[in-house]
């Protein structure tokens, strides 16, 4: 974006000839979190210029959705950010529910909150695992993370039938009710989670290596974060208190008491981004506990048909997905298919500041900075 | 060797085998997959190698980031037209004998995105696939089963006659991405378009 280095002056060694080295990292690179490529210009170990190249996973999501009925693209939204299918579903449902006005039953609202907070736990816990993996701690933290992830995926599977691609939300409610005893099992998982977090925090948060490798690396100033449209934990790590759950109060988020962790400092480095996520998990547990206490039995689906013909209108629905603001923009033209279907993917927009954060850092740090942004290529390329 | 003699010897504490069996046993039980994730299915591939499913039990946990050190490629996810040349190039860089598992509906046929303009309709158009693993995404148990199938296949290979051994390096030309499509559209040595059942039979037409 702003800082590029076309006129970079090489440091001349006495009589040695020096030149910049151009390295293409990816699309097959273990640290790029999928099929993503960075064209890096290096002066020794220092990153002088960096150009992100993507499009390797462009799956025509938007074009396909414009050629099918509204409901039919619900399973495709699962595949956007494939860690968080539930929040993707919710954002799309919110947008479509503005086009067709339906009442959403109480129980469905509660289950939506429960599902998306569980999703947040899954996302953050795996992200931290992958992030520490990038730092070089191969195995252990990721193994712990996936152990916890499996427990939550079991809950998803019992409710929706699928581990990852849940396809659970419908316009006006949910596809089916949760099975008997599901809420108790969820409570068990939620009650045990803080214990795991304690362990994880003890292992990571004050670890000497993590501190020295992440602090003051990949700084992102508040001003740049705001003007680049960064959202989610990354924005909060730069010191902005902005959470769509609080701003929009979509669903029934106004009923829950929870805090929004954000960094008080002005640095916005990788460590802040890592800590914001660790703290956010605690708040998700708080929300989950309140939701599990408040939920009552009742219907889970409003009276919506399967095929809709909304009148000509526009709608934008957004949620606080674990990675940031996930929005769906729909233009209805009076037929059963959307005229325009656009996704505002948080990972993609957060990725735009990668260059600014990486210039001047070591090449090994570029890997961590990318990891701390938390991208998923399914969403970046769509 | 005669089975009866073999078991006789075994009773006497002498273990006999053939070079073929020994070789296949060793290769089948120490597959080194390429650490290579494409899309959603890759997450399930990672989950398979993690604590609960523990791919290590079947001897295939050493995920190698470099294709030069790997002998199994798990194509885990949607192969787009922009990505296909890279996949083929990686496959070419692997030393033979090498194996491919096409994981998920996308790698097999394009899956849910088959109608898309940018999605390759099956990686088997360019590289030979040993096991097709359906699902979207397949469960980790299914990944383990596909590995078992592959091991079974390896067990039946014959060093003397199997093309993977005698032909040396087979050629897999890397397709070129032209901006809209891939050139050539498929590798005729590996894949042929299925015959059109509605086409008029040729002999009758000429006769
Ligand atoms: S088969 Fe399904 S889960 Fe696997 S890559 Fe394709 S869309 Fe994703």
| Residue of A40, A43, A44, A41 lying closest to A25 (CA atoms) | A40
CB of B111 closer than 6 angstroms to any ligand 1 atom? yes
Q: Is B37 within 8 Å of A34 when comparing Cβ atoms? A: yes
> How confident is the model at residue A355, as a pLDDT?
86
Rounded CA separation A350/A353 (Å): 6
CA A232 to centroid of ligand 1, rounded, Å: 26
CA B120 to centroid of ligand 1, rounded, Å: 13
> Which strand (E) or helix (H) includes residue A350?
helix A346-351
CA B180 to centroid of ligand 1, rounded, Å: 22
Residue B51 contacts A where some CB pair is shorter than 8 Å = yes
Take atom 3 of ligand 1 and give the residue whose Cα is closest.
B137
- Hey, is A48 helix, strand or coil? strand
Q: Which of chain B's residues have a Cβ under 8 Å away from the Cβ of A64?
A: 113, 115-116
Rounded CA separation A155/A185 (Å): 8
- Each residue's pLDDT tens digit, B72-104: 888 888 888 888 888 888 888 888 788 899 998
Q: Could you tell me whether strands A169-170 and A173-174 are parallel, antiparallel, or unpaired per DSSP bridges? A: antiparallel
> How confident is the model at residue B204, as a pLDDT?
54
Rounded CA separation A108/A295 (Å): 9
CA B150 to centroid of ligand 1, rounded, Å: 21
CA B106 to centroid of ligand 1, rounded, Å: 5
- Flag residues of chain A having pLDDT under 50: 1-4
Q: Which residue of A has its CA nearest to B111?
A: A59
What angle separates helix A140-160 from helix B40-49, to the nearest 10 degrees?
120
* Cα pseudo-dihedral A299, A303, A306, A309, rounded to 10: -150
Take atom 6 of ligand 1 and give the residue whose Cα is closest.
B106
What sign does the CA torsion over B99, B76, A164, A245 have? positive
What's the CATH architecture for B16-158+173-206? 3-Layer(aba) Sandwich (3.40)
User: Does residue B205 carry a pLDDT above 60?
Assistant: no
CB of B106 closer than 6 angstroms to any ligand 1 atom? yes
What sign does the CA torsion over A235, A237, A243, A246 have? negative
Q: Is B86 within 8 Å of A28 when comparing Cβ atoms? A: yes
Q: Is B83 within 8 Å of A35 when comparing Cβ atoms? A: yes
> How confident is the model at residue A50, as a pLDDT?
85
Return left, alpha or beta for A364; rule: phi > 0 is left, psi -120 to 50 is alpha, else beta: alpha
- Classify residue B111 by its DSSP letter: G
> How confident is the model at residue A297, as a pLDDT?
83
* CB-based burial label for B21 (10 Å; 0-12, 13-18, 19+): exposed
| Residue of A232, A133, A61 lying closest to B37 (CA atoms) | A133
- Residue the block writes with tokens 């640095």: A267
Q: Which residue of B has its CA nearest to A378?
A: B39
Residue A143 contacts B where some CB pair is shorter than 8 Å = yes
CB of B101 closer than 6 angstroms to any ligand 1 atom? no
Q: Which of chain A's residues have a Cβ under 8 Å away from the Cβ of B47?
A: 146, 149-150
Rounded CA separation B172/A84 (Å): 37
Query: How many other CB atoms are there within 10 angstroms of residue B64's CB atom?
Result: 17
Q: Which of chain A's residues have a Cβ under 8 Å away from the Cβ of B39?
A: 34-35, 57, 59, 79, 82, 377-378
CB of B137 closer than 6 angstroms to any ligand 1 atom? yes
Instruction: Tell me the sheet residues that pair with A258.
Output: none
Nearest chain B Cα distance for residue A104, angstroms: 29
Q: Is A150 within 8 Å of B90 when comparing Cβ atoms? A: no
CB of B77 closer than 6 angstroms to any ligand 1 atom? yes
- Classify residue B80 by its DSSP letter: B
> Which strand (E) or helix (H) includes residue A159?
helix A140-160
Tokens representing B19 are: 């070079």
Q: Which of chain A's residues have a Cβ under 8 Å away from the Cβ of B77?
A: 57
CB of B41 closer than 6 angstroms to any ligand 1 atom? yes
Rounded CA separation A205/A189 (Å): 23
> How confident is the model at residue A119, as a pLDDT?
92
Chain A, 8-27: which have a CB under 8 Å from a chain B CB? Answer: 27
Half-sphere exposure in the Cβ direction for A57 (13 Å, CA)? 32
- Classify residue B190 by its DSSP letter: T
Atom of ligand 1 nearest to the CA of B41: 4
Tokens representing B61 are: 């946990």
Rounded CA separation B21/B194 (Å): 36
* Cα pseudo-dihedral B195, B199, B204, B207, rounded to 10: -100
Rounded CA separation A363/A287 (Å): 39
CB B87 within 8 A of CB B94: no
**Residue in B43, B83, B112 closest to A76 by CB:** B112
Chain A, 97-116: which have a CB under 8 Å from a chain B CB? Answer: none
User: Does residue B149 carry a pLDDT above 50?
Assistant: yes
Tokens representing B62 are: 């050493």
Residue B163 contacts A where some CB pair is shorter than 8 Å = no
- Each residue's pLDDT tens digit, A95-142: 888 888 788 888 888 999 999 999 999 999 988 888 888 887 777 888
DSSP A106-118: HHHHHHHHHHHHH
CA B205 to centroid of ligand 1, rounded, Å: 44
Q: Which of chain A's residues have a Cβ under 8 Å away from the Cβ of B82?
A: 55-56, 58
pTM: 0.86
Q: Could you tell me whether strands A173-174 and A313-321 are parallel, antiparallel, or unpaired per DSSP bridges? A: unpaired
Tokens representing B110 are: 């394009």
- Each residue's pLDDT tens digit, B165-199: 666 566 787 888 887 788 787 877 778 788 877 77
């Amino acid at each position: 974006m702003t800082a590029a280095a076309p006129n970079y002056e090489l440091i001349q060694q006495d009589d040695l000839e020096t030149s910049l080295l151009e390295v293409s990292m990816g699309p097959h690179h273990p640290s790029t979190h999928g099929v993503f490529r960075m064209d890096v210009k290096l002066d020794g170990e220092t990153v002088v210029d960096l150009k992100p190249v993507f499009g390797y996973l462009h799956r025509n999501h938007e074009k396909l959705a414009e050629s099918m009925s509204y409901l039919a693209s619900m399973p495709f939204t699962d595949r956007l950010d494939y860690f968080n299918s539930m929040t993707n579903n919710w954002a799309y449902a919110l947008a479509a529910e503005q086009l067709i006005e339906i009442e959403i039953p109480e129980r469905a609202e509660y289950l939506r909150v429960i599902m998306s907070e569980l999703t947040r736990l899954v996302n953050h816990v795996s992200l931290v695992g992958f992030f520490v993996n990038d730092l070089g701690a191969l195995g252990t933290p990721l193994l712990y993370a996936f152990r916890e992830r499996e427990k939550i995926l079991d809950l998803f599977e019992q409710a929706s039938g699928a581990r990852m691609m849940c396809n659970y939300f419908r316009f006006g409610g949910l596809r089916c009710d949760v099975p008997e005893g599901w809420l108790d099992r969820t409570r068990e998982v939620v009650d045990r989670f803080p214990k795991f977090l304690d362990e994880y925090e003890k292992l990571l948060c004050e670890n000497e290596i993590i501190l020295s490798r992440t602090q003051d690396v990949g700084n992102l100033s508040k001003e740049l974060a705001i003007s680049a449209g960064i959202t989610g934990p990354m924005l909060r790590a730069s010191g902005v208190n902005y959470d769509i759950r609080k701003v929009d109060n979509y669903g029934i988020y106004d009923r829950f008491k929870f805090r929004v962790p954000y960094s008080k400092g002005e640095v916005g480095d990788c460590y802040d981004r890592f800590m914001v996520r660790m703290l956010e998990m605690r708040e998700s547990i708080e929300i989950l506990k309140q939701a599990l206490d408040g939920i009552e039995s009742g219907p889970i689906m409003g009276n919506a048909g399967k095929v809709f013909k909304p009148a000509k209108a526009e709608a934008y629905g957004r949620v606080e997905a674990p990675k940031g603001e996930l929005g769906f923009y729909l233009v209805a033209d009076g037929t059963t298919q959307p005229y325009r279907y656009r996704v505002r993917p948080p990972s993609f927009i957060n990725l735009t500041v990668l260059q600014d954060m990486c210039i001047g850092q070591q090449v090994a740090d570029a890997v961590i900075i990318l990891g701390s942004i938390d991208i998923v290529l399914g969403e970046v390329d769509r | 060797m005669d089975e009866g003699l073999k078991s006789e010897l075994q009773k006497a504490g002498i273990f006999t085998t053939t070079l073929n069996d020994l070789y296949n046993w060793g290769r089948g039980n120490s597959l080194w997959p390429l650490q290579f994730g494409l899309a959603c299915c890759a997450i399930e591939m990672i989950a398979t190698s993690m604590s609960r499913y523990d791919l290590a039990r079947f001897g295939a946990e050493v995920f190698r980031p470099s294709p030069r050190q790997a002998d199994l490629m798990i194509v885990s996810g949607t192969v787009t037209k922009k990505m296909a040349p890279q996949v083929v190039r990686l496959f070419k860089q692997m030393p033979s004998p090498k194996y491919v598992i096409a994981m998920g509906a996308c790698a097999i046929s394009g899956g849910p995105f088959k109608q898309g303009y940018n999605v390759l309709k099956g990686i088997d158009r360019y590289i030979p696939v040993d096991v097709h693993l359906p699902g979207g995404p397949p469960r980790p148990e299914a990944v383990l089963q596909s590995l078992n199938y592959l091991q079974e296949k390896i067990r039946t290979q014959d060093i003397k006659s199997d093309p993977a051994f005698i032909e040396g390096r087979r050629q897999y030309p890397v397709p070129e991405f032209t901006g809209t499509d891939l050139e050539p559209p498929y590798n005729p040595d590996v894949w042929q378009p299925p015959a059109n059942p509605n086409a008029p039979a040729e002999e009758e037409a000429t006769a």
